[in-house]
């Protein structure tokens, strides 16, 4: 019969397996030591009679009390219960998925020392501000790659930042939409959390698909925020092989930060667009959103869990009384 139909049960019944061997041990010790205990083997019986503190059969034999105390202790450890109690529950902390652009243009040097290095610095600031939020990291160029799933171990995420560079990616490209889908899968695996996606990029080649992906994340309850890396003036676009990209006329191609495209994606994802200098503003907004979400979750009446109450605590006074009786001088 299940606990739902039979209220009295033990939360940790495995402890009850200790009862038979312990009780047998107490019985064996009681018979072995007898009325005079182990002292009869080293002290003359006539002298031992003079050393006793009192007379009375059974007064010097504590093994019955030892067995009772042992039984009470084991039953208490097994966790007897017959009542349920309701306790307040809280939702898990927020989740931040950082999406880093590692396309070749991120090696441009219009910001010092280059775009990808400044993006890594910005991620460091995000990790320092994460507090109790879980953080995941996704990088992308032609294809997205999950560097770390959602975790509270920001030190591990931080240790993986230094090697991240465009040269690390196996193929070129600049496709944000698949990276947003990958971030959505990480958030979906952490159900019940308030999701924030923070994209650090200088632009991408699929703005229409990225807006659709951001809208899907918004529908799922997440926000898509973008941090623009670079300047409007731009810089020569590296080709990934130590040179620069040239157009059909042989001119060097400049890669510029187009904030209009980034803003449209942020709007589709109900998020914010900031520049590197405005990153503290975004961090403050992320904290404000997390506080509002946690406050509303705590005040929701349905956030309670019901569990069986451990009533083994009520056996502790009896156990203490038995221990006090066993501490009588001359027994052990």
Question: What CATH number did the domain enclosing 255 receive?
Answer: 3.40.50.410
Q: Is residue 40 part of a domain?
A: yes
Which residues, including other chains, have CB under 8 Å from residue 310's CB and lie 6 or more apart?
A: 11, 79, 80, 81
Q: Is residue 295 part of a domain?
A: yes
Return the axis-axis angle of helices 63-78 and 19-33, rounded to nearest 10°.
170
Residue 26 has pLDDT above 90, yes or no: no
Q: Are residues 295 and 311 in the same domain?
A: no
Q: Are residues 227 and 109 in the same domain?
A: yes
Q: Is residue 238 part of a domain?
A: yes
Q: Are residues 320 and 288 in the same domain?
A: no
Mean pLDDT across the chain: 82
Residue 283 has pLDDT above 90, yes or no: yes
d(CA 290, CA 81): 38
Which residues, including other chains, have CB under 8 Å from residue 201's CB and lie 6 or more apart?
A: 99, 100, 101, 106, 176, 226, 227, 228, 229, 262
Which residues, including other chains, have CB under 8 Å from residue 290's CB and lie 6 or more apart?
A: 93, 94, 133, 194
pLDDT, residue 17, reads 85
**What does each C-alpha distance from 159 to 122, 127, 153, 163 come to in angstroms?**
14, 11, 10, 9
Q: Between residues 189 and 200, which one has the greater pLDDT?
A: 200
pLDDT, residue 297, reads 47
% of the chain at pLDDT higher than 70: 77
Q: pLDDT band for 224, please (50, 70, 90 cuts).
A: very high
Q: Are residues 127 and 176 in the same domain?
A: yes
Q: Are residues 39 and 55 in the same domain?
A: yes
For the chain, how many helices (H) and strands (E)? 10, 12
Q: Is residue 121 part of a domain?
A: yes
**25-29, 218-222, 253-257, 284-288: the lowest-pLDDT one:** 25-29
Q: Is residue 160 part of a domain?
A: yes
Q: Is residue 332 part of a domain?
A: no
Q: Are residues 311 and 295 in the same domain?
A: no
Bond prior to 326 in cis (omega within 30° of 0): no
Residue range 293-307: mean pLDDT, rounded: 54
pLDDT, residue 118, reads 97
Which residues span the domain enclosing 120? Answer: 95-299
| Tally of domains within the chain | 2
Q: Are residues 48 and 174 in the same domain?
A: no
Q: Are residues 134 and 17 in the same domain?
A: no
d(CA 332, CA 317): 22
Place of tokens 């397996």: 17
Residue 299 has pLDDT above 50, yes or no: no
**41-50, 126-135, 203-212: the lowest-pLDDT one:** 41-50
pLDDT, residue 294, reads 54
Three-state SS at 105: helix
Q: Are residues 47 and 132 in the same domain?
A: no
Q: Is residue 331 part of a domain?
A: no
Q: Is residue 178 part of a domain?
A: yes
Residue 323 has pLDDT above 80, yes or no: no
Q: Are residues 52 and 197 in the same domain?
A: no
Residue range 313-331: mean pLDDT, rounded: 74
Q: Are residues 122 and 192 in the same domain?
A: yes
Q: Are residues 72 and 43 in the same domain?
A: yes
CA dihedral (72, 77, 82, 83) in degrees, to 10, reads 120
């Amino acid at each position: 019969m299940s606990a739902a139909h039979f209220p009295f049960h033990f939360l940790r019944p495995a402890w009850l397996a200790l009862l038979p061997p312990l009780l047998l041990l107490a019985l064996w010790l009681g018979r072995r030591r007898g009325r005079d205990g182990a002292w009869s083997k080293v002290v003359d019986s006539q002298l031992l009679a003079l050393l006793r503190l009192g007379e009375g059969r059974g007064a010097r034999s504590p093994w019955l009390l030892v067995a009772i105390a042992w039984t009470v202790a084991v039953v208490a450890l097994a966790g007897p219960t017959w009542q349920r109690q309701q306790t307040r529950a809280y939702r898990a902390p927020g989740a931040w998925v950082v999406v880093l652009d590692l396309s070749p243009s991120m090696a441009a040097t219009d910001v010092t020392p280059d775009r990808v290095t400044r993006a890594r610095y910005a991620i460091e600031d995000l990790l320092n501000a994460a507090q109790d939020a879980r953080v995941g990291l996704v990088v992308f160029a032609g294809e997205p790659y999950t560097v770390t799933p959602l975790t509270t171990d920001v030190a591990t995420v931080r240790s993986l930042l230094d090697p991240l560079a465009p040269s690390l990616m196996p193929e070129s490209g600049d496709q944000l939409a698949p990276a947003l889908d990958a971030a959505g899968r990480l958030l979906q695996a952490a159900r019940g959390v308030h999701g924030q996606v923070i994209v650090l990029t200088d632009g991408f080649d699929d703005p229409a698909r990225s807006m659709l992906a951001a809208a899907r994340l918004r529908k799922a309850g997440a926000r898509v925020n973008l941090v623009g890396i670079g300047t409007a003036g731009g810089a020569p676009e590296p080709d990934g092989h130590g040179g620069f990209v040239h157009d059909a006329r042989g001119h060097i191609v400049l890669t510029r930060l187009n904030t209009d495209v980034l803003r449209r994606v942020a709007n589709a994802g109900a998020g914010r667009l900031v520049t590197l200098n405005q990153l503290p503003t975004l961090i403050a907004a992320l904290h404000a959103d997390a506080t509002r979400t946690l406050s509303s979750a705590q005040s929701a009446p349905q956030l309670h869990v019901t569990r069986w109450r451990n009533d083994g605590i009520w056996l502790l006074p009896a156990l203490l009384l038995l221990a006090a009786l066993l501490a009588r001088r001359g027994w052990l």
